[in-house]
Amino acid sequence: MSQPRRKRDWTRREVLEALGLGSAALLSSTSVSVAAFPKGAVIRTVLRDYPPDELAPGTAVLFHEHMSLAPDFLKRFEAYGASTGTTVPAGPTDVSFMQDINLMVDELTAAKREGVGCIVDGGHADMGRNIESLRQLAMRSQMPIVVGAGLYTYPFYPREISTMSEDQIVRLLIRQVESDPVGVFGEIGSWDDISADERKVFRAIGRAHVATNLPIFTHTGIPGKSALEQLDILEDAGVKPDRVVVGHLGNLIDSSVQVHKAICKRGAFVGFDRLGAAVDDQDVPMVMALIDAGYASNLMFASDLARPNAIKRNGGPGYARTLTVFLPKLKAAGAADEVIQKITQDNPRRFLAFVPKIGRPRIT
């Protein structure tokens, strides 16, 4: 059920018009409300640690995008999906645009104009993520970027993972946190039928979270039947559900959103993170059903951008497509401004804020 709009002296439209900003920025909604964060909590970006309420206030945070991947990543992703019998989103597979720093600066600068204040990059070493490239991109675009740690999914894992013990994998993950300024474990994935190695990695991720406090976001297959098992494994390892986003649940099409509600009831976040595309028509009614059921505080939005046809240089909507393409559809379906603010601004800051158990590594 839509909530009544708050009374205020100035509307966001009036402020933006007074500042000469474009109307697309309206899609990031109203000013940020003050959320309660644990004492000592930070949001760790590739360049610096932010107090959570000082991270680009009044802007949206996208919890799952891609700005650095190996050139052959999408080709391998589609091939591995086919080999496991899993349906995967298909499309152009050339991600060479991510190697063009000037192009990427232009893309993120455009996203800033459209209301994005921070982006979480969902890659890590086994996906070909280049952390130095992301550091340069953050400096030149002035877009705060949170970078991820972890292991993606079989068979992207390093070959030795199958012979490593769970303890050894935990130590590997902690070394990643000690070596690089990572702010999240993610994306941590499985195909729909979780393999033994994937279960081992998920247990290790849970234990590494306990040792570091880093939040976690996951990748589920299509249609997403691994969602509850992923959360079970992490909880069994000691992770509190409010530290977890179970991702790609727009793929789990169910008008009654039973699995989505079960995840919300446990306190975790439900990730709708392929937004601003053809799947919007199936996602809008599910998101509205969860909002109407009182679960707006458990929703997280992003677009998982990785395809070349999605960037502005190639005629696509760009990294802000969650805001510029999806949110107008959600507003048209009845979502109130305050609810959209909660989902796009407050929720991701609550999720990303953590009290570090390992200090920020010094980069020379």
Domains, the chain, ordered by start: 37-352 (3.20.20.140)
**Residue 284 contacts by C-beta under 8 Å, 6 or more apart in sequence?**
326, 329, 330, 333
How many CB atoms lie under 10 A from the CB of residue 285?
A: 13
At residue 88, the pLDDT reads 77
pLDDT tens for each residue of the chain, 364 residues long: 433 333 333 333 332 333 333 334 434 434 444 457 999 999 999 999 999 999 999 999 999 999 999 999 999 999 988 877 777 777 899 999 999 999 999 999 999 999 999 999 999 999 999 999 999 999 999 999 999 999 999 999 999 999 999 999 999 999 999 999 999 999 999 988 899 999 999 999 999 999 999 999 999 988 898 999 999 999 999 999 999 999 999 999 999 999 999 999 999 999 999 999 999 999 999 999 999 999 999 999 999 999 999 999 999 999 999 999 999 999 999 999 999 999 999 999 999 999 999 999 987 5
Question: Tens digits of per-residue pLDDT, 45-97?
Answer: 999 999 999 999 999 999 999 999 999 999 999 998 887 777 777 789 999 99
The secondary structure element, H or E, covering residue 222 is none
Give the integer Cα–Cα distance in Å for 190 and 349: 25
At residue 199, the pLDDT reads 98
Give the integer Cα–Cα distance in Å for 245 and 342: 16
Question: Tens digits of per-residue pLDDT, 218-261?
Answer: 999 888 989 999 999 999 999 999 999 999 999 999 999 999 99
Q: Is the pTM value of this prediction over 0.85? A: yes
How many CB atoms lie under 10 A from the CB of residue 20?
A: 6
Name the residue type at position 105: V
What is the residue whose two structure tokens read 């050339």?
Answer: 94
Name the residue type at position 69: L
The secondary structure element, H or E, covering residue 284 is helix 280-292
How many CB atoms lie under 10 A from the CB of residue 323?
A: 30
